Structure 1
Amino acid sequence: MGFHTFPIERADKLEDPSRYRFCSREELLEMLGLDSDAVVADLGSGTGFYSRDVAPFVDTLYAVDVQEAMHEYHREAGLLENVELVTAGVDSLPFDDDELDGAFSTMTHHEYATDETMVELARVIRPDGRLVTVDWSGDGTGDDGPDIDERFNVSDVVAHLEDADFTVERIHNRPETLAVVARR
């Protein structure tokens, strides 16, 4: 799989509104199903494209990315008051056990998915909390997103989550992308 980071020199591409054809703000919010007092993390937040969409609907949003340069871009694009930038890998999140009400990743699962990261997510998401994974599908055409050999298919993502004791609630297997809603 890929396990790479998005090239900072292409960060402008992450701000392209055409990304909504793969996951809209409304779809993401509905899958998360969070209360207004929720604490949530955007895993692989990049420039903050989806962080800015979710933040107005929660109490605290942690925008997690391994690249400080992405956080700089996020600051320049506009940092909402309830957003905290966190420079960390998904394998070593600086959160207490059960701290998060939920977490989501949009088009980044293929960059971080390992047994260790799934265990780490199970550690920081509270019991009954949701994890929403939207990513490029290994069953896709490859016309958009990373190469097919860098992607997972739905059964891979489900296995990652179930192996870490998440319960998969919903699966959306679409032409180019997948979306999986799981509960801890």
Structure 2
Amino acid sequence: MGFHTFDIERAEALEDAGRYRFCSREELLGALEPSPADVVADIGSGTGFYTDEAAPFVERMYAVDVQSEMHERYREKGAPDNVEFVTAGASSMPFDDGELDAAFSTMTYHEFAEDEALEELARVVRPGGRVVTLDWSRSGTGDDGPPVDERFALGDAVDAFESVGFSTVDGQTRKETFIHICTK
């Protein structure tokens, strides 16, 4: 039930440090639990705001976005040396089975939350691998992020991930967002 992609004309908003009020660097890293040998993908990486935060802690980081224009903006900004750009949708990622140790998405789940994308994540994340999803919550006010009718509840994400073989490690609903951590 993905609704839209982020408007490239508003890409500069993706670099606003105010985004940390919804997910800090420490929260993302704590949920992701990266190790130096990991191969990780940021699904819906945009201009690399959160990709930049995780990249120093892993061997290889894939910035996955359906919009090549987002990659162009990220390249202009400058990306860490271990970041590789992948222009693809979440339902058709060019990774081998079990290639990823982990994947995460920040504020993009509502854009790709379809069976095909979740099945693809189940294919590309190795057994024991982790997926961290932080997104706008249906129970939020709608003052920030997409309209409430384009959002999901934590329970929706839990059900969707568990239906393709992931196990929930933790999940929390906050004022505007939810975080879901699961393993394969």
Aligned to 2:80: 80
Residues 90-133 of structure 1: per-residue CA shift (max 9 Å, x gap): 00000000000000000000000111111100000000000000
Which amino acid in structure 1 is aligned with residue 10 of structure 2? R
Aligned to 2:16: 16
Report the RMSD for the aligned CA atoms in angstroms.
Answer: 0.7
Aligned to 2:55: 55
Aligned to 1:101: 101
Structure 1 residue runs of 4 or more that deviate by more than 6 Å after TM superposition: none
Residues 92 and 120, structure 2, Cα contact 8 Å, conserved in 1: yes
* TM-score where L is the length of structure 1: 0.99
How many Å apart are 1:3 and its aligned residue? 2.4
1:122 aligns to 2:122 (yes or no)? yes
Structure 1, unpaired ranges of 5+: none
Helix, strand or coil for the counterpart of 1:180? strand
Give distance in 2, aligned partners of 1:20 and 1:100. Answer: 25
Give distance in 2, aligned partners of 1:133 and 1:80. Answer: 22
Give distance in 1, aligned partners of 2:2 and 2:21. Answer: 23
Residues 2 and 151, structure 1, Cα contact 8 Å, conserved in 2: no
Residues 119-162 of structure 1: per-residue CA shift (max 9 Å, x gap): 10000000000000000000111110000000000110111101
Residues 32 and 102, structure 2, Cα contact 8 Å, conserved in 1: yes
Aligned to 1:163: 163
* Residue-pair matches, total: 184
Aligned to 1:145: 145
Which amino acid in structure 2 is aligned with residue 115 of structure 1? D
Give distance in 1, aligned partners of 2:118 and 2:81. Answer: 29
Helix, strand or coil for the counterpart of 2:145? coil
Structure 2, unpaired ranges of 5+: none
How many Å apart are 1:34 and its aligned residue? 1.6
Give distance in 1, aligned partners of 2:108 and 2:52. Answer: 17
Give distance in 2, aligned partners of 1:146 and 1:114. Answer: 17
Aligned to 1:29: 29
* TM-score where L is the length of structure 2: 0.99
Residues 2 and 113, structure 2, Cα contact 8 Å, conserved in 1: no
Aligned to 2:89: 89
1:66 aligns to 2:66 (yes or no)? yes
